[in-house]
Amino acid sequence: MFDARTDIPPMLTDSQMMSMSLQEVTEYMCKRKVAQRNDPAYERERIDELAEFIECHLIDELADQGCVEGFCLNARAGLEREFPKLEAFKESWCAAAARQIWYKYNH
């Protein structure tokens, strides 16, 4: 049985994919995407990308937030307003990125 957390299908060459049926290619691509999305390194990269955006574009408007919850809530609103393609990111990644920046400046 396929476990997306641990069973990452190996990369196939173009010629290997050409010999597969459309259904097999679709299943393969879905498994790769799910496995990639569940990879902790991939998650860390996406959180860091959001944190960098918050720090570069939103930090001035968030600087007066005293508590981490308010900072996270307003950072999420700022990301929804200004970050392109936010729907590709999990909501928990947005909160983790905001907390990362809040702790960087408040500890």
Whole-number pLDDT of residue 47: 93
User: Tens-digit pLDDT profile for the chain (107 aa)?
Assistant: 455 555 666 788 888 888 999 999 999 888 888 887 778 888 899 999 999 999 999 999 888 877 899 999 999 999 999 998 898 888 999 999 999 999 998 87
Whole-number pLDDT of residue 5: 52
C-alpha count within 13 angstroms, C-beta hemisphere, residue 78: 23
* Total residue count of the chain as it appears in this document: 107
Domain ranges for the chain: 1-38, 40-106
Whole-number pLDDT of residue 35: 80
- List phi, psi (to 5°) of 80: -60, -35
Which amino acid type is present at position 83? F
Q: How many CB atoms lie within 10 A of CB 64?
A: 9
